[in-house]
Structure 1
Amino acid sequence: MAGDPYAALGVSKSASDAEIKKAYRKIAKTDHPDLNPDPAAGERFKAASAAYDLLKDPEQRRRFDAGEIDDQGHERPQQRYYRQHAEAAGNPYAQDYGFGGDPDLSDVFGDLFGQRGGGRGGPGQGGFRGFGGGPGAGAGQREADFSMRGQDHRFQLDVDFLTAAKGGKTRITMPDGSDLEVAIPKGAHEGQTIRLKGKGGPGYGKGGAGDAYLTLSVGQHPDFVREGDDIFTTLPISIDEAVLGGKVAAPTIDGPVNLTIPKGATTGQKLRLRGRGVNGGDQQVELKVVMPPQVDDDLAAFMENWRKSHAYDARAKRKG
């Protein structure tokens, strides 16, 4: 994203949840890598996926709109409203916030606490909500009583084609060296984000840990191409199978199944396997007639005799 998730989806900041979802679906239909090989389309789809992941969560959207997090879901540096107020000329409570004796700590806490400051009582009773101490409290006590949620972390996770299509589990190593098993949902797609609650940065004080977000990068498969929930594959067949028809084994994401080849099948003809795609989608099988590795004398003689009485123009436009 270029900093604005709304722009990435082509909607206004006031767009409803339904409008945001509709915009994302529209982009997915035109720019998904399985549907559009243009690299620029792939970048638009990735940006839209990241934007949708951020805005579909009401709390994340609220925090982004409020300037608390950026377009990647990372915490923004808090503004120093407290410092600006405490040091303002004529402020009667300027010396009662507890940091006047140590300018270094004042800078640190001013940056950390930002908008969390708030008076508790009248003159001489200035302080932070939740700090558990007035002017006499020590800096260590104030820091211990401060609570803030940990930062969210974002990573890219490479997933193989079949695991994304069928679902499964994979193990990842977190930045702290720990191993974690991640469940990949059935039908996962390129750019989809998986949330790992509490696996982000540690919180401060009583604040909970942030979350980890894994953006999926789905690998290619030598036999299958996915478009939405449908799977596409090309099936080679021999000359005799094309002419005579019959049953042949066709690969699917769940293993081979028998497919009936009609008599007179030709290259480019498509057959459908209902329910053999992803999440109930179909599999489209495109036939490809393949010549034998070597044309021997028997085949050549047979074709010469056959052509004498059955010749046809393969390049003539077919009717219907």
Structure 2
Amino acid sequence: MAGDPYAALGLTKSASDAEIKKAYRRIAKTDHPDLNPDPAAAERFKAASAAYDLLKDPEQRRRFDAGEIDEQGQERPQRRYYRDHAEAAGNPYAQGYGFDGDPDLSDVFADLFGRRGTGGFGQGGTRRDFHMRGQDYRFSLEVDFMTAARGGKARITLPEGGDLEVTIPKGVRDGQTIRLKGKGGAGMGQGGAGDAYLTISVAPHPEFRREGDDIFLTLPISLDEAVLGGKVAAPTVDGPVNLTIPKGASSGRRLRLRGRGINGGDQQVELKIVMPPKIDDDLATFIETWRRDHGYDPRAGMKVGG
């Protein structure tokens, strides 16, 4: 162990003896090498075991707190921790980190696996009547905006190989986690399979934007459509619909399409007047004449300056 033994147990120096034992039991239930093959978990368990070995002895804890010994108990060089002597001849932890040689761990795994008397794990970690639920899997999956809005199918690759087809529900949100019951790792004995948890990331759309269950869209309209009004096709997540543009519509005006969002939400359409690609002589002459007789100031009433 290196560093702070209290930190290895997720505690502070003010922790009680009971809190130290409880923290060690919690870590053993998740990170013991017989339960979690992840090398990082083995390192966490190694650090927690060494920390607990140091702190469960009141005298050693007092001397460590007083600075008389370091976190490795170097004044007692003969002291060796769990993983240091795991392979020693005759050691009950040899060959797979068995549980029966450590009274603290034997209690932990009696609670965890329901072991009583001589059942559960035997000497050397041999499993007898051992049942454990399979490991949960966690995945991240990016889906396109329309798949999230409409629902659809996607495939993910499992850790042990092979693919799993998953159903993306209609209206799934960015950051939402979907639980796939029984699609995790296989269990042991009569333990059921774990679950798979799929966290969804929704890719942005070039036109649509989502807020809650409402969809927002900026819709370009021509100068004549803005002046004269009319019906235009407006895209929605379920396909185009006819939208009525009122006469004299301005850029920035919002029109609402009820029920055209997601899960009963609405679609908000913001109009944007787009000028023609070229101002020809006819349009320029007409506007000059119109302005002379009907000019107006759209900025009247604006407060600028101090």
What TM-score do the two structures reach when normalised by structure 1? 0.61
- Please list every run of 5 or more consecutive structure 1 residues that lacks an aligned counterpart in the other structure: 1-65, 85-99, 119-126
3-state SS of paired residue (1:108): coil
Q: Among all aligned residue pairs of Structure 1 and Structure 2, give the percentage whose two residues are the same amino acid.
A: 65
> What is residue 103 of structure 1 aligned with on the other side?
92
Q: Distance in 2 between matches of 1:159 and 1:279?
A: 18
Instruction: Tell me the secondary structure at the aligned position of residue 187 of structure 1.
Output: coil
Counterparts of 1:69 and 1:146, CA distance in 2: 16
Provide TM-score, normalisation by structure 2.
0.64
Pair 1:307–1:107, CA change in 2 (3 A)? same
For residues 166-191 of structure 1, what are the alpha-carbon distances to aligned partners after superposition, in whole Å with 9 as ceiling and x for unaligned? Answer: 21111222122211111111111011
Work out the number of aligned pairs and report it. 223
Q: 1:148 to 1:202 in 2, by over 3 A?
A: same
2:259 is aligned to 275
Q: What is the alpha-carbon root mean square deviation over aligned residues?
A: 3.4
Give the one of 186, 194, 206 matched to 2:178.
194
In the alignment, residue 109 of structure 1 is paired with which amino acid? G
In structure 2, distance between residues paired with 1:238 and 1:304: 19
Cα gap change, 1:133/1:168 in structure 2, threshold over 3 Å: closer, same or farther? closer
The aligned residue for residue 110 of structure 2 is: 117
Please, which of 116, 119, 130 is the counterpart of residue 129 of structure 1? Answer: 116
Q: Which amino acid aligns with 1:268?
A: G
Counterpart-to-counterpart distance in 2, 1:131 and 1:249: 76
Moved over 4 A (4+): 66-70, 74-80, 111-114, 130-134, 137-140
CA contact (8 A) 2:187 2:193 kept: yes
Gaps of 5+ in 2: 1-25, 54-88
Q: Distance in 2 between matches of 1:103 and 1:138?
A: 7
1:302 aligns with 2:267: no
The residue that corresponds to 1:284 in the other structure is 268
- Answer with 258-267 or 151-160: which moved more: 151-160
Matched with 2:217 is: 233
Distance 2:90 2:116 in 1: 20
Relative distance call for 1:269 and 1:113 in structure 2 (3 A) is farther
Larger radius of gyration: 2
How far did residue 224 of structure 1 move?
A: 0.5
**What pairs with 1:159-198 in structure 2 (closer than 5 Å)?**
159-198=143-182
Q: Deviations over 1:98-149 (max 9, x none)?
A: xx9663447612298762338xxxxxxxx94396589xx7768x41422222
How far off is 1:207 after superposition? 1.9
In 1, the alpha carbon distance for the partners of 2:30 and 2:212 equals 32
